[in-house]
Amino acid sequence: MISYLVGLLILTLITGLLVVGLNVRWGWAGEFDLSYYAYVAIGAYVAGVLIGGPSGGPNPLVPAPDGWILGLHWPFIPAVIVTVLVTGLLSAAFGAIALRKLRGDYFAIATLAFTLIATYIFSQDYTLFNGFLGVFNVPRPFYDALHQPEVLTYNFVFAGICLVLLLVVYFVLEALLNSPFGLTLRSIREDEQASAAFGRNVFSEKLKAYVIGGMVAGLGGALYVTYLTAWNPSGWSAIEGFLLFAGVFLGGQGNTRGVILGVFIVTIFIPEATRWLPEFQNKPDLYPALRNIVGGLVILAVLRWRPRGIIPERHSNDARIERSTSASVPPMSVVGADRG
């Protein structure tokens, strides 16, 4: 039972890390991004081939020099740093194209296309990340340094690593949210044209948020692959992205603490509460279906009666936004006097 709870906690902490990155893109910048989990998968693949060794030979189905590229046996920390930089650079490259002209539904369709392209490349090219088989036998961080402890003992250590990284990311993002950058993003999200009229560079600010979200996604992917010790295309289905969006919906879009609470509800409260539902021996598939139905009803209830989430975004800094925008533009009377 303890092992199960610790494993559930680890997955919840990693998911919490992922959802705060999604909140930067969607909650802060207002961009409905359907490609976010693709960056998680890219982070998992990159960390897997940096930390793990080569596959040991060609794929039995498709001849190739190696099952996947690299296999460098890097330590955990340098591999994570490179992974975060890679997903950040990919986010910058895609965002520089998509964010410049596309908005709303068009941007969402572009991100969906990016996800489909990445899926087909990673699943079909066996020389890159081993196709459908993916990467495997990825070493767990600091396992040898701890003298190969028992599974439960190590899981406690890994949970501590995930918690520390989540707290670091949380405090960094909270500082950014309350900085002029975060205030500018909020003003752009609320009224993009008005912010541009006040001299804000909408494209630049949105691209920064997109890159930050991608870097957090890469970090979460690195933690996922080192915990699971494997990764393949089946590990990033549509339901995984839906769970992240559900956490943002439930907790409160734009509120970092709220979305973390939403993740705990989605990954712990709903699954554990639905364990008390009756089981039907003649219909073994009915019980999982009921769990999904109950979870969906909870989400719909929150959206109906708490549309801004359980912990809505705080607006205590709205006066600061108004002061910062008004300070950068001369009063109307002065403008009129100049024209006269």
* pLDDT of residue 11 exceeding 70: yes
61 and 179 part of one domain? yes
Binning pLDDT at 50, 70 and 90, where does residue 68 land?
low
Q: Which of 139-148, 222-231, 234-243 has the lowest mean pLDDT?
A: 234-243
252 and 203 part of one domain? no
Q: Is residue 3 situated within a structural domain?
A: no
Q: Is residue 335 situated within a structural domain?
A: no
**Mean per-residue pLDDT for 250-276?**
82
Handedness of CA 86, 247, 161, 21 (dihedral sign): positive
174 and 230 part of one domain? yes
Q: Is residue 284 situated within a structural domain?
A: yes
Specify whether the CB–CB gap between 51 and 138 falls below 8 A: yes
**Mean per-residue pLDDT for 83-102?**
92
* pLDDT of residue 268 exceeding 60: yes
Q: Looking at mean pLDDT, say which of 257-261, 286-290, 312-316 comes out highest.
A: 257-261
301 and 179 part of one domain? no
* pLDDT of residue 273 exceeding 80: no
Which residue carries 């439960």 as its tokens? Answer: 152
Phi-psi region of 50 (alpha: psi -120 to 50; beta: other; left: phi over 0): alpha
pTM strictly above 0.75 = yes
* pLDDT tens digits, one per residue of 305-338: 887 888 887 765 544 544 454 444 444 444 444 4
d(Cα 66, Cα 84) in Å, to the nearest integer?
25
Closest CA to 121 of 132, 112, 110: 132
111 and 247 part of one domain? no
The pLDDT of residue 13: 92
The pLDDT of residue 21: 92
* pLDDT tens digits, one per residue of 105-159: 888 899 989 988 888 888 887 777 878 888 888 888 888 777 777 888 888 999 9
The pLDDT of residue 292: 73
Binning pLDDT at 50, 70 and 90, where does residue 27 land?
confident
**Mean per-residue pLDDT for 64-73?**
60
Q: At what angle do helices 238-251 and 256-264 cross, to 10 degrees?
A: 120
Residue finishing a domain among 183, 205, 236: 236
* pLDDT of residue 281 exceeding 60: yes
Tally the domains of the chain. Answer: 2
* pLDDT tens digits, one per residue of 175-215: 998 898 988 888 888 878 888 888 888 888 999 999 999 99
Structure tokens belonging to residue 83:
């992974």
280 and 206 part of one domain? no
Q: Is residue 304 situated within a structural domain?
A: yes
156 and 85 part of one domain? yes
* pLDDT of residue 100 exceeding 70: yes
226 and 267 part of one domain? no
Q: Which of 47-56, 79-88, 116-125 has the lowest mean pLDDT?
A: 47-56
257 and 313 part of one domain? yes
Q: Which of 16-25, 66-75, 194-203 has the lowest mean pLDDT?
A: 66-75
219 and 263 part of one domain? no
295 and 208 part of one domain? no
Binning pLDDT at 50, 70 and 90, where does residue 65 land?
very low
d(Cα 243, Cα 260) in Å, to the nearest integer?
12
**Mean per-residue pLDDT for 274-278?**
70
The pLDDT of residue 55: 57
Domain interval for residue 76: 12-236
Beta bridge partners of 135: 231
The pLDDT of residue 146: 77
